[in-house]
Amino acid sequence: MLFNSAIFLVFFLCVYVLYWFVFKKYRLWILLLSGCVFYGWWDWRFLLLLFFTSGIDFLTAKKIHHEERPHVARRWLIVSVTVNLITLGFFKYYNFFAASFVKLLGLFHLHPSFTTVHVILPVGISFYTFQSIAYVTDVYRRRITPEHSALHYFAFICFFPQMVAGPIERAKKLLPQFHQPKMFSRRYFESGINLVLYGFFQKIVIADNLALIVDQIHGQLNNYTASVLILGILAFALQIYADFCGYSNIARGCAQLLGFKLVKNFYFPYFACSLQQFWTRWHISLSSWFRDYVYIPLGGNRAKPARRSFNLLFTFLVSGLWHGANFTFVLWGFFHGLALIIEKSVSKRSFSKLLHGIIVFAIVSVLFTLFRSPNLHHFFEYLAALLTNSGSQGINSAIAAFESRYLFLLPLFAFIVFEILKYNKSGLGQYRYNYLTNALVILFILLFAVFENAPQFIYFQF
């Protein structure tokens, strides 16, 4: 079930009414069942997988907590993590590694007879798997106690606003909220509505209109000059931000309308003045997950410089592979890790913050082209066209790229202004600013929203 669909609006309205006004004593059951309906809408078989891996995590966390022998507790942790990673690896990476192995053998003129299996990727498996691993690991580290109520635990796992594409919530923050009595809050209601509206504006107005432009440019690389190809890079950087930040805002808004508070997943990442700062602002829940459960266990910043560089590069390679079974994501992770290593070794006093910010945005935007490219060949073809496609038809080429979408520049400009105003915390007062923003957002949605053949959320593929 997609957030940007009519069926979701009907679904959420029904859940909201039942949750607050009909079955007040059974709110946890409403959350659990609604999560099952929401997730099972794609394929009910995915629910069996979700409950299988989550059930193992629920039981092993209890075993770990009650086990006084450290080596035995560690074995239970290994069981839980192994089951999760094998499940994730099979569904997400089997075809990728099998096909890569066949190509490798082909270099030696060996042609194995087996073929890859068509494995359907369960939606959101990367997100709920990492959330479960964090839960069991935190129990093992004695940071939290295990949840003893199966109802509370599975309501936490199946909390539909964030189960498909995050934020990746830590049990320490979200699980206790399922034990707290819920009272209707006008403040939560208003802030939830604000987040949902702005999230829809980001997705169906900004991201989806930009997607039309980006798809056209990527589909006809040789028809555009270098200036338009640069426009394509910038457009996709804004598209992926508006798309994923929009999803996170809708998720946070829906959660607040139900009385829950989720972590902020984005904090103006394109205003960052360093790559390190960028990664504290972009997809914060995932970045902090890799920091706490991969980078720090490897030794983190405590290690010697060479080892620290290895830890950083390895963490980003794993992060790239997490995003998708494609060498484009692996290369994206490698380049980001390498760029961070270089950044740490270069003095930051030689340039102004503005120039640092421009450099960071340029690096991030170019590397995001790997996300949009279906394969490495397309990515290098894009870079080659960027360096070789010159000529005097830059303006005409840009006009052709926009076609009949000139008026879209109005909400795009408004979106950039909104982001700058929020970042600077200036402009109108908070109360008036929210209502003025909402009025403009609703107007832009009515005039510019993409409903027909609308692209799904980009991070659903991860």
pLDDT tens per residue across span 331-353: 999 999 999 998 888 765 666 78
Distance, CA of 402 to CA of 47 (rounded, Å): 42
Whose structure tokens read 């700062």?
277
**Inter-residue contact 280 to 287 (CB < 8 Å):** yes
Token pair, residue 260, equals 């829950």
Distance CA(430)–CA(438), nearest Å, equals: 12
Q: Is the pLDDT of residue 272 over 50?
A: yes
- What tokens appear for 173 in the block? 């923050």
Residue 422: which of 195, 238, 173, 150 has the closest Cα? 195
Higher-confidence residue of 461 and 438: namely 438
Q: What are the catalytic residues?
A: 323
Over 60: is that where the pLDDT of 325 sits? yes
Q: What is the mean pLDDT of the chain?
A: 85
pLDDT of residue 351: 65
Q: At CA 438, angle to CA 18 and CA 167, rounded to 5?
A: 60
* Four-CA torsion 359, 238, 262, 185, nearest 10 degrees: 130
Is the separation of the CB atoms in 225 and 397 below 8 Å?
A: yes
Per-residue tokens: 362: 């340029």
- Nearest CA among 230, 237, 235, 212 for reference residue 397: 230
What whole-number percentage of the chain has pLDDT above 90?
A: 50
10-60, pLDDT tens digit by residue?
999 999 999 998 888 899 999 999 999 998 887 888 889 899 999 999 999
More confident residue, 69 or 102: 69
Segment 236-255 shows an average pLDDT of 94
For 166-217, the pLDDT digits (tens) are 799 999 999 999 999 888 888 889 889 999 999 999 999 999 999 988 988 8
Asked if 155 and 260 count as a contact pair (C-beta separation under 8 A), the reply is: no
In this prediction, residue 429 carries a pLDDT of 42
Higher pLDDT, 390 or 318: 318
pLDDT tier, 82 (very low <50, low <70, confident <90, very high otherwise): very high
316-337 mean pLDDT: 90
* Residue in 162, 164, 130, 144 with CA at minimum distance from that of residue 53: 130
- For residue 401, report the phi and psi dihedrals to the nearest 5 degrees: -65, -40
pLDDT recorded at residue 322: 87
